[in-house]
A and B are shown apart, each in its own frame.
Chain A
Amino acid sequence: MDLFLQLLLNGFVNGSHYALLGVGFGLIFGTTNIVHFAYGPVYAAGAYSAWTAAALLGFPLFLAGLTGVAAATVLGVASYLLLYRPFVRRDAPTFVVLIASLGLFILLENLIAILFGTDKKVVDGYSAGIHFIGPTFYTDIHIYQIASLMILGLALAAFLRLTNYGKAIQAMTDNADMARVIGIDTNKVSILVFAIGSAISAVPAVLILLRDGALPNMGFIAVFVAFLAVVVGGVGSILGAVLGGFLLGMVENVGMWQIPTEWQSTIAFIVLFFVLLVRPQGLFKGT
């Protein structure tokens, strides 16, 4: 029972982490239809910028985190303006944009390795408090992971529902052509979602920096998981991305309760296949 409770908590925490990654990626993908693989290295750049601010420039942690968010936002928007937009303007087919995105992924990941080196970057002097509730353990970082999902998730939902730009995003996600017809500047909206999506991804990035340290290839698993969460949850649905992320987190943890952990990665894929087989549009895609 002890094990089960710990796994349940782990599932919830990891699920929050994956959910938030999915939300950022899903916002970009759902609105612009761009499979932004470079989301991974942009996430990593957020972590590395925060590390630079904290470890090299001596910023206090919170400020370093903001630096990471700012850096990721700038890099994300730049990738849209300089790489994706020219393709979109020429009506390039989706897979061409996908390949361009992969190219950007490789370029940025290697750039990070060249600039920062391949050793692990950690923020010295940060030590997360360890707590336990009953027989289960958790740390401060875990709390931040859950909290950041709740805060950012709710903020995003409010933004989408209540503000003009939020409604424009919803419209463009639903039907980009119609959005143009009613006068929405889809270029501006694209820039906006790339900014928000990248900013959101930087928060888990900074938390992972504090929890595990940063490596140049940390972006790969992030975009991989984000992509899975969005596909499972349903493209275009923020709630879907959140639930997709939680499902993944739960399967990875609670799913291993009686199954050897050797199967951890395999199980995630089996679940993905199963979901797509039964409901290819994702669990929460609407009508």
Chain B
Amino acid sequence: MSEQLLAVERLSVGYGKKTVVHEVDLGLAEREILIVLGHNGAGKTTLMQAIFGLIRTQSGRVLYRGEPITGRKPADNVLGGIAYVPQGHGIFRSLTVRANLELGAFVVRDRSRLEEDMETVFEMFPILRERATQIGGTLSGGQQQMLAIGMALMHKPSVMILDEPSIGLAPNLVERVMRSIQTINREFGTAILMVEQNVRYGLPIAQRAAVLKTGRKVYDGPPEPLEDRVELMKLF
């Protein structure tokens, strides 16, 4: 387990007396793409938020490069190289594309790399370069999602956690987004932990898959068997 970049050990997360995630184990290796599937309300988003430190955990722990980071402040996770792209293309709608990207690198002290990092994002998503001075809220849904991913890229993360990046997007855009994620993984070596409902476009790029059912992990292994709808339905 020491080769795991990000390790989740018997993590339980809940609100008050209610437990939503029950003792889940999860491991993400360097440069790996891991997709997390499950029915609505299975606890996928809650699990991601807990890993990143946005909500408190009830028990268990999270390790990053072997060091415990359970419940660490998001700011420290960002500085440590973990990025989070929340559900629903989270951006700052009243600010420009450029201002959004700058904010993505908010906690990075060394500002000299800012232009260089922004250039990297523009290379990946040329449409953002075109609309660099445009207000975020005026971009289309797909463009906003690219901006959200771009913001996460700004500090060259080692791990990127994405919560349903394809939600609300037209199929051709979904494909586009998935390809970008793959590119990020290949070119920058970023490990990807991705919650995704869209099995059709998500499974192909994953190296491993996990399935959550009512807060517990019921599958953890290669993604191929899950391409069989019948098998998949058994787990949901």
Residues of A in contact with B (beta carbons under 8 Å apart): 164, 167-168, 170-171, 173-175, 177-178, 180-185, 236, 286-287
A185 to B102, alpha carbons, bound, how many Å? 17
A287 to B94, alpha carbons, bound, how many Å? 7
- The answer to whether B90 and A286 touch across the interface, beta carbons within 8 angstroms, is no
- The answer to whether B92 and A171 touch across the interface, beta carbons within 8 angstroms, is yes
- The answer to whether B107 and A177 touch across the interface, beta carbons within 8 angstroms, is no
- The answer to whether A287 and B151 touch across the interface, beta carbons within 8 angstroms, is no
Q: Given A168-B106, A286-B135, A287-B137, are A181 and B94 neighbors across the interface (CB < 8 Å)?
A: no
A157 to B103, alpha carbons, bound, how many Å? 18
Interface size on B, residues (CB 8 A): 27
Q: Given A170-B95, A174-B94, are A286 and B106 neighbors across the interface (CB < 8 Å)?
A: no
- The answer to whether A182 and B106 touch across the interface, beta carbons within 8 angstroms, is yes
Q: Does B78 sit within 8 A of A, measured CB to CB? A: yes
Q: Does B71 sit within 8 A of A, measured CB to CB? A: no
Chain A residue numbers with a CB within 8 Å of B84 are 181
A175 to B74, alpha carbons, bound, how many Å? 15
Q: Does B86 sit within 8 A of A, measured CB to CB? A: yes
A9 to B107, alpha carbons, bound, how many Å? 47
Q: Given A177-B86, A178-B86, are A167 and B106 neighbors across the interface (CB < 8 Å)?
A: yes
Interface residues in B110-160 by Cβ distance below 8 A to A read 135, 137-138, 151
A180 to B103, alpha carbons, bound, how many Å? 11
Chain A residue numbers with a CB within 8 Å of B170 are none
Picked from A170, A177, A182, the residue with its CB within 8 Å of the CB of B104 is: A182
Overall SS of chain A's interface? helix
Chain B residue numbers with a CB within 8 Å of A175 are 90-93
- The answer to whether B54 and A286 touch across the interface, beta carbons within 8 angstroms, is no
- The answer to whether A180 and B91 touch across the interface, beta carbons within 8 angstroms, is no
Interface residues in B76-91 by Cβ distance below 8 A to A read 76-79, 84, 86, 90-91
- The answer to whether A181 and B86 touch across the interface, beta carbons within 8 angstroms, is yes
Q: Does B199 sit within 8 A of A, measured CB to CB? A: no
Give 15 A-B contacts (CB < 8 Å), ordered by A residue: A167-B99, A167-B102, A173-B94, A177-B86, A178-B90, A178-B91, A181-B84, A182-B78, A182-B106, A183-B76, A183-B77, A183-B79, A184-B75, A236-B94, A287-B135
Q: Does B186 sit within 8 A of A, measured CB to CB? A: no
Chain B residue numbers with a CB within 8 Å of A173 are 94
**Lowest 5 CB-CB distances: which A-B pairs, in order?**
A183-B75, A183-B107, A183-B78, A174-B92, A287-B137
- The answer to whether A180 and B107 touch across the interface, beta carbons within 8 angstroms, is no
Q: Does B179 sit within 8 A of A, measured CB to CB? A: no
Q: Given A181-B54, A286-B135, are A174 and B151 neighbors across the interface (CB < 8 Å)?
A: no
Q: Does B39 sit within 8 A of A, measured CB to CB? A: no
Q: Does B73 sit within 8 A of A, measured CB to CB? A: yes
Q: Given A287-B137, A287-B138, are A180 and B95 neighbors across the interface (CB < 8 Å)?
A: no
Chain A residue numbers with a CB within 8 Å of B78 are 182-183
- The answer to whether A184 and B86 touch across the interface, beta carbons within 8 angstroms, is no
Q: Given A167-B106, A180-B54, are A286 and B94 neighbors across the interface (CB < 8 Å)?
A: yes
- The answer to whether B90 and A181 touch across the interface, beta carbons within 8 angstroms, is yes
- The answer to whether A183 and B92 touch across the interface, beta carbons within 8 angstroms, is no
Chain A: minimal CB distance from B101 (Å) = 11
- The answer to whether A177 and B93 touch across the interface, beta carbons within 8 angstroms, is no
Chain B: minimal CB distance from A118 (Å) = 45
- The answer to whether B74 and A181 touch across the interface, beta carbons within 8 angstroms, is yes
A61 to B79, alpha carbons, bound, how many Å? 47
Chain B: minimal CB distance from A131 (Å) = 42
A190 to B73, alpha carbons, bound, how many Å? 17
Chain B: minimal CB distance from A203 (Å) = 27
Q: Which partner residue on chain A sits nearest B79 by CB separation?
A: A183
